[in-house]
């Protein structure tokens, strides 16, 4: 690519000055050693002209193809039909707001209940708005695999309802899911799919775009392996030709986000659809958080190549100095010591140089630590009042963390680069909380879609007689178990019981088994592998009966669909608020300083979002019926009641006493 660029400049100079030949040099500058490497070629004007015209021919062929696709695409989108006979209740309201947001170039937060079809309710109007607003691409961003699948399913439905639907769709997946050679490094000296990648890319790209309109993970892999190129990087190259790109949040919002970088470089006009946007706060915080672990450093240091030994030793000395100055298990500091930053900058630079010059296999522990050090350096440059630098130590291990608290400043540029951004979820209130934390523009519109469900479909009981505070948990076990047994015997079926911790869950499960062995029971375990998660859900059938014990905020508290008799009730023995600990208290103080609402922003709002998500598993369709028990006296407080969904029919249940009698 560098020679091609230099060759173009060379031909332009030959043409302008009437030269028969010219000497071209590529000059590479080593910023660490401050040395130059010069590679020269003497080229004739005729050869440069030929290469230049070949490039022009290739470009014109591509441009004509893309212009033709754009014309047919926009014509099809103007005539695009909704894939169903009618909109669902609330779905039209969402679709109108989404269309206006794209048409007017606005940001929108939409809270819309589960079951109205939010994916189609945002994707369809965004597609309809593309021609009139000259939108190049739609980025459908989601937090989970299930969200990507729903988006792909929506595209399939649109294609089925519109026979001439020339919309190119590409799915992006994580590198570890797409990598065919996880034991190799990502360069031509190590991986056979990286060697000669750009030589084989044009043929792979043509094959993909000519044969497939929807390029999901499996299709991209099929094309990539047929042309011996990397599936992960092929998918990213195909985004340049796609109309819809479906992928994780990090592809647009991360510090090194590829979609954001391409949008800026190519000056694309894009519309962003952010699915399950209640996850955005925690996810984007992690993107702008960096950690370094002393045990990981020691492990990496065991196998250091000789050229890196001195730099690693310097990191060790600086870290030892930090350890000596750490009198407490947890401590937030106002700044990162300059000596430590200098040491990790040095090892990051020297490691990068070493890998460039010696691209053979590198010890994974050393590579991981050096990548973490590089990210730590980047985040140190962004450290301000929106983040905290803290040090924690436990059992001799020290962890340094640049902890992002308020991701808003990092995300503002992402929204500014887009024509429109639509964030939607079943639980994304209060709007001010999400606007403050996610950096949305001041003119962001807010939509609270009316629920399609009737209050009589779900009875919500607040059990005020039981406290689930940490100090009261052991006393709460007996009445909670009797409440479960009473409801189960009154109406046998499938229930989910949510706790604030695995320890709380295990104690309650043991007591239920001891007192009521007749009630089938299954439990979520810590670090549950996917096959066991699948088995947990498989037990909830339309004809089964029993109680599943799970933790609030975990795999079974959101993102699962159990319609009809697969789930007829839920018990939630917690407000879901994060644990009170030194880290969260530091966050609370920072939230107080910035927004004046430390407790609500740190504890109450994140906790109740989990509660509403878990309760939302019970009613999934218009025919579902169910019951939810909110177990804690704090649910009756006006400040808490005001944050629960308006359509819920809430009753106070005060007769579940300490003995668990009803």
Q: What is the pLDDT of residues 334-347, one digit of tens each?
A: 899 999 999 999 99
Phi and psi angles of residue 140, each rounded to the nearest 5 degrees, phi first: -100, 110
For the chain, what percentages of helix, strand and coil (3-state, to nearest 5) are there? 50, 20, 30
Q: What's the mean pLDDT in 368-380?
A: 94
Share of the chain above pLDDT 70, in %: 98
- For domain 88-286+408-448, the question of CATH label 3.90.950.20 is answered with no
Which of 95-99, 470-474, 482-486, 653-657 is least confident? Answer: 653-657
Angle formed by the axes of helices 45-78 and 2-17, nearest 10° = 110
* Rounded-to-integer distance, Cα 294 and Cα 30, Å: 31
Q: What's the mean pLDDT in 285-308?
A: 93
Sole residue written with tokens 């006006």: 638
Q: What's the mean pLDDT in 614-640?
A: 93
Give the pLDDT of residue 561: 87
Give the pLDDT of residue 136: 97
Spell out the domain ranges in the chain.
2-62, 88-286+408-448, 290-404, 455-653
- For 290-404, the fitting CATH number among 2.40.160, 1.10.3470, 1.10.275, 3.40.190 is 1.10.275
Give the pLDDT of residue 396: 75
With a cut of 70, say whether residue 276 has pLDDT above it. Answer: yes
pLDDT category of residue 657 using cuts at 50, 70 and 90: very low
Q: What's the mean pLDDT in 11-32?
A: 93
Sole residue written with tokens 């028969």: 20
Give the pLDDT of residue 644: 92
Q: What's the mean pLDDT in 18-30?
A: 95
- Nearest Cα neighbor of 452 from 121, 212, 28 is 121
Q: What's the mean pLDDT in 415-444?
A: 94
Q: Do domains 88-286+408-448 and 290-404 have the same CATH topology?
A: no
* Rounded-to-integer distance, Cα 471 and Cα 551, Å: 18
- Residue 94: CA count within 13 A, CB half-sphere: 32
How many residues are present in the chain?
Answer: 662
* Rounded-to-integer distance, Cα 410 and Cα 164, Å: 40
Which of 34-43, 204-213, 229-238, 592-601 is least confident? Answer: 204-213
Give the pLDDT of residue 363: 80
Domain 455-653, what fold? Rossmann fold (3.40.50)
Q: What's the mean pLDDT in 19-38?
A: 91
Cβ distance 645 to 453 under 8 Å?
no
Give the pLDDT of residue 596: 94
Sheet with 214-215: list strands edge to edge: 214-215, 169-171, 244-248, 137-142, 270-274, 420-425, 107-111, 445-448
> Strand (E) positions, 599-643?
626-631
- Nearest Cα neighbor of 635 from 573, 581, 568, 558 is 573
* Rounded-to-integer distance, Cα 393 and Cα 293, Å: 10
What is the CB neighbour count within 10 angstroms for residue 589?
A: 14
Which of 21-25, 185-189, 527-531 is least confident? Answer: 185-189
* Rounded-to-integer distance, Cα 263 and Cα 265, Å: 6
> Strand (E) positions, 396-466?
397-404, 420-425, 445-448, 458-463
Strand pairing report for 397-404 and 290-293: antiparallel
* Rounded-to-integer distance, Cα 580 and Cα 52, Å: 65
Give the torsion sign (CA, 49, 55, 56, 58).
positive
With a cut of 50, say whether residue 660 has pLDDT above it. Answer: no
Q: What's the mean pLDDT in 381-390?
A: 94
Give the pLDDT of residue 359: 62
> Strand (E) positions, 309-413?
330-333, 387-394, 397-404
With a cut of 90, say whether residue 328 has pLDDT above it. Answer: no
End-to-end, the C-alpha distance of the chain in Å comes to 76
* Rounded-to-integer distance, Cα 344 and Cα 314, Å: 9
pLDDT category of residue 628 using cuts at 50, 70 and 90: very high
Strand pairing report for 214-215 and 169-171: parallel
Share of the chain above pLDDT 90, in %: 82
* Rounded-to-integer distance, Cα 418 and Cα 70, Å: 19
With a cut of 80, say whether residue 219 has pLDDT above it. Answer: yes
With a cut of 50, say whether residue 662 has pLDDT above it. Answer: no
Give the pLDDT of residue 653: 63
With a cut of 50, say whether residue 63 has pLDDT above it. Answer: yes
pLDDT category of residue 325 using cuts at 50, 70 and 90: confident
* Rounded-to-integer distance, Cα 469 and Cα 461, Å: 18
Cβ distance 439 to 121 under 8 Å?
no
Q: Which residues contact 319 (CB under 8 A, 6 or more apart)?
A: 294, 297, 340, 398
Give the pLDDT of residue 655: 54
Give the pLDDT of residue 115: 79
Q: What's the mean pLDDT in 429-433?
A: 92
pLDDT category of residue 32 using cuts at 50, 70 and 90: low
* Rounded-to-integer distance, Cα 322 and Cα 335, Å: 12
Query: What's the whole-number average pLDDT of the chain?
Result: 92
Q: What's the mean pLDDT in 479-486?
A: 97
Residue 327: which H helix or E strand, with range? Answer: none
pLDDT category of residue 30 using cuts at 50, 70 and 90: confident
Cβ distance 36 to 28 under 8 Å?
yes
* Rounded-to-integer distance, Cα 427 and Cα 279, Å: 10
């Amino acid at each position: 690519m560098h020679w091609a660029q230099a060759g173009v400049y060379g031909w332009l100079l030959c043409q302008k000055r009437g030269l028969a030949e010219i000497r071209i040099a590529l000059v590479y500058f080593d910023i660490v050693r401050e040395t130059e490497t010069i590679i020269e070629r003497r080229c004739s004007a005729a050869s440069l002209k030929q290469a230049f015209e070949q490039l022009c021919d290739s470009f014109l062929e591509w441009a004509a193809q893309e212009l033709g696709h754009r014309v047919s695409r926009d014509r099809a989108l103007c005539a695009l039909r909704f894939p169903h006979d009618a909109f669902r209740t609330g779905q039209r309201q969402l679709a109108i707001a989404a269309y206006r947001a794209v048409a007017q170039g606005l940001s929108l937060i939409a809270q819309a209940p589960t079951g109205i079809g939010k994916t189609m309710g945002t994707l369809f109007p965004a597609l309809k708005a593309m021609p009139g607003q000259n939108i190049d691409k739609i980025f459908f961003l989601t937090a989970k695999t299930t969200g990507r699948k729903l988006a792909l399913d929506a595209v399939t439905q649109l294609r089925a309802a519109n026979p001439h639907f020339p919309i190119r769709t590409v799915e992006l997946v994580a590198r570890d899911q797409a990598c065919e050679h996880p034991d190799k490094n990502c360069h031509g000296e190590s991986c056979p799919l990286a060697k000669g990648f750009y030589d084989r890319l044009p043929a792979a790209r043509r094959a993909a775009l000519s044969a497939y309109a929807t390029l999901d993970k499996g299709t991209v892999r099929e094309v990539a392996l047929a042309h011996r190129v990397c599936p992960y990087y092929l998918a990213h190259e195909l985004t340049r030709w796609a109309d819809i790109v479906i992928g994780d949040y990090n592809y647009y919002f991360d510090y090194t986000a590829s979609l954001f970088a391409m949008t800026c470089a190519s000056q694309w006009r894009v519309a962003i659809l952010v699915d399950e946007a209640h996850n955005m706060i925690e996810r984007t915080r992690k993107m702008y958080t960096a950690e370094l672990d002393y045990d990981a450093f020691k492990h990496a240091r065991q196998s250091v190549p000789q050229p890196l030994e001195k730099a690693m030793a310097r990191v060790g000395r600086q870290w030892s100095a930090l350890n000596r100055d750490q009198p407490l298990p947890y401590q937030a500091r106002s700044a990162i010591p300059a000596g430590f930053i200098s040491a990790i900058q040095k090892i990051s630079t020297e490691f990068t140089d070493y890998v460039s010059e010696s691209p053979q296999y590198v010890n994974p522990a050393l590579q991981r630590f050096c990548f973490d050090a590089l990210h730590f350096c980047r985040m140190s440059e962004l450290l301000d009042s929106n983040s905290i630098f803290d040090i924690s130590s436990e059992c001799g291990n020290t962890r340094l963390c640049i902890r992002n608290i308020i991701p808003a400043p990092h995300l503002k540029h992402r929204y500014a680069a887009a024509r429109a951004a639509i964030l939607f979820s079943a639980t994304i209130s209060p709007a001010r909380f999400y606007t403050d934390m996610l950096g949305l523009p001041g003119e962001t519109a807010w939509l609270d879609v009316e629920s399609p469900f009737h209050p009589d479909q779900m009875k919500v009981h607040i059990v005020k007689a039981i406290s689930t505070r940490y100090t009261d948990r052991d006393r709460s076990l007996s009445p909670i178990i009797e409440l479960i047994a009473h409801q189960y015997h009154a109406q046998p079926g499938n229930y989910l019981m949510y706790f604030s911790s695995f320890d709380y869950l295990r104690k309650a499960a043991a007591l239920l088994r001891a007192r009521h062995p007749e009630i089938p029971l299954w439990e979520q375990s810590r670090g549950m592998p996917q096959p066991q998660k699948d088995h947990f859900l498989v037990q909830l059938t339309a004809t089964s009966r029993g109680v599943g014990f799970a933790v609030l905020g975990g795999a079974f508290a959101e993102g699962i669909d159990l319609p009809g008799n697969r789930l007829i009730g839920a018990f939630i023995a917690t407000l879901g608020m994060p644990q009170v600990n030194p880290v969260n208290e530091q966050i609370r103080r920072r939230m107080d300083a910035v927004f004046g609402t430390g407790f609500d922003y740190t504890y109450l709002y994140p906790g109740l979002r989990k509660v509403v998500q878990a309760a939302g598993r019970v009613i999934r369709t218009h025919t579902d019926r169910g019951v939810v028990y909110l177990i804690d006296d704090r649910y009756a407080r006006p400040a808490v009641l005001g944050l629960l969904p308006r359509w819920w029919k809430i009753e106070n249940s005060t007769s579940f006493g300490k003995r668990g009698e009803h």
